[in-house]
Amino acid sequence: MNPLASDAKTLGCLTPGPELLRQLMLQPLTSTPLRVCSGGSTSRCAGDGCWTMDLRRHRAVRYDENSAEIEFGTGLTMAELLQVLQAADRSLPIGLSGLTGSGFILTGGMGPLSRSQGLALDCITAIEGIWGSGESFALQKDQTTECGRRWRGLMGASAFLAVVTRLRLRTQRRQPLRVRHGLIDPSQLPELLNIAEGWPETCSLQWNWGDRLEIYAVDCSSEQTTPQTLKELDPILGRDHHAAIQSCTDQLDQPTFGRLASDTTASIPVHSEVLARLGPAMGQEAGPLMQCLSLRMQERPHGGCRISAQQLGGATTRVNRGSTSFIHRDSVWKPWITAAWNPGDRVGRQQSLQWMDQVSSDFSTTCPGVHLAQLHDHLPGHHRELVDAFGEWLPELRQLKSELDPEGRLPPL
């Protein structure tokens, strides 16, 4: 479990199977909101004074060869799903880690293959669970208008409305990947961003800025030889010994993202919060922004504080803005800011959260949207994040919340 969530002073953890979950959801809670744990990677899968609903007993999985869809309980991790699909030579677009649970999918599902395969969220064809009211539901894509309204709410904002227990997703043919993984000087980052914004959809750029600046370029094209796209990085990477192109059989074979950016491995678990933003291509704005971020990196209050980003666009833009709660379909970049501190260090926590907010403000012009990969209903900026995440859809989403979770059992909107 996420170290911060693991150390929370909770009321306890509930681990019901499918047959008991609805009865539990109908019981009065001594404290709200209820926290939900799937993969356990977010900081709010447990919280002080709250109950946690652990879904990791919901593990049934079935692959349908005729429809090429996989149906599964939300207690499985992304790595476990890919392992099931390997036998059928199929795959799903996962993120930079296989440890995440279904919350990864339900909040958007962004990763190195998003530009060519779309968001994992957009692969969902059916969804089951319990509304905050305790009522069961089973919805399929493209149903009636009222069901469509609820479907849209679940696609990107389910954490506020329901406990999702089962999903069905269409799958993709399993693809080999090439990853170019290396270190660059921060002054080279604006040039690299401009290069990446001209790449074909089969390629994506990720970067992680900690003690050093790591880049992580992924290509899933069918070319037999090294793609020209990755060769374009030669002048920037130079002769760095980390920069060799690695061929991977699939997403589970990818090298660990972020390992080159840090000097040391923490001897104790570090507490952290993550805030993610969304925005279009940066173009000429990349240079001034990166100069500002260079100064922020010199001021970071803890060695675990980082600035990272991944590239979107391509297939993620070809879905109607109004069809899901993920409205930022013009996004080309998703930067995220990690605030870190040592457990029990209250002053360090405050300093790191202030640093995170400052960096987020630096990004706000070029990346005005927010991606709610983690909830921050315990932090002062929660309401502003909701506005930046859901925009003009937020009032209707709040109306849905009042209908489907009238007692506020789940996180507030």
- Specify the CATH number for the domain of residue 315: 3.40.462.20
pLDDT at position 245 is: 86
Q: Residue 325's closest CA among 147, 158, 93? A: 158
Residue 368: inside a domain, yes or no?
Answer: yes
- Rounded CA separation 195/189 (Å): 10
* Cα three-residue angle 68-74-79, rounded to 5 degrees: 70
pLDDT at position 145 is: 66
- Rounded CA separation 205/126 (Å): 31
Whether residue 319 is found in the same domain as residue 377:
yes
Whether residue 101 is found in the same domain as residue 196:
no
pLDDT at position 239 is: 66
Range of the domain at 215: 175-265
Sign for the CA dihedral angle at 371, 372, 374, 379 comes to positive
Sign for the CA dihedral angle at 45, 51, 57, 62 comes to negative
pLDDT at position 31 is: 87
Residue 168: inside a domain, yes or no?
Answer: yes
Whether residue 271 is found in the same domain as residue 296:
yes
pLDDT at position 289 is: 97
The total of structural domains in the chain comes to 4
Whether residue 370 is found in the same domain as residue 296:
yes
**Domain boundary, last residue among 129, 146, 173:** 173
pLDDT at position 265 is: 64
pLDDT at position 14 is: 92
- Sole residue written with tokens 């349908």: 64
Enumerate residue ranges in the chain where pLDDT < 50.
none
- Rounded CA separation 53/45 (Å): 8
Residue 242: inside a domain, yes or no?
Answer: yes
**For residue 84, what is the enclosing H or E element?**
helix 78-86
Whether residue 379 is found in the same domain as residue 283:
yes
Residue 412: inside a domain, yes or no?
Answer: no
Beta pairing class for 35-37 and 369-371: unpaired
**Domain boundary, last residue among 246, 265, 284:** 265
**Domain boundary, last residue among 154, 173, 192:** 173
- Rounded CA separation 156/39 (Å): 17
Sign for the CA dihedral angle at 39, 41, 42, 44 comes to positive
Whether residue 243 is found in the same domain as residue 151:
no
Whether residue 161 is found in the same domain as residue 212:
no
Whether residue 43 is found in the same domain as residue 141:
no
Residue 403: inside a domain, yes or no?
Answer: no
- Rounded CA separation 260/301 (Å): 20
Residue 358: inside a domain, yes or no?
Answer: yes
- Specify the CATH number for the domain of residue 185: 3.30.70
Residue 406: inside a domain, yes or no?
Answer: no
Residue 369: inside a domain, yes or no?
Answer: yes
Q: Is 12 exposed, middle or buried (0-12, 13-18, 19+ CB in 10 A)?
A: exposed
DSSP strands (E only) in 185-243: 203-209, 213-219
Predicted TM-score (pTM) of the model is 0.95
DSSP 318-364: SS-GGGSS---TT--EEEEEEEEE-TT-HHHHHHHHHHHHHHHHHHT
Q: Residue 193 carries which side chain, given as an amino acid letter?
A: L
Whether residue 246 is found in the same domain as residue 161:
no
Whether residue 162 is found in the same domain as residue 76:
yes
- Sole residue written with tokens 């744990």: 37
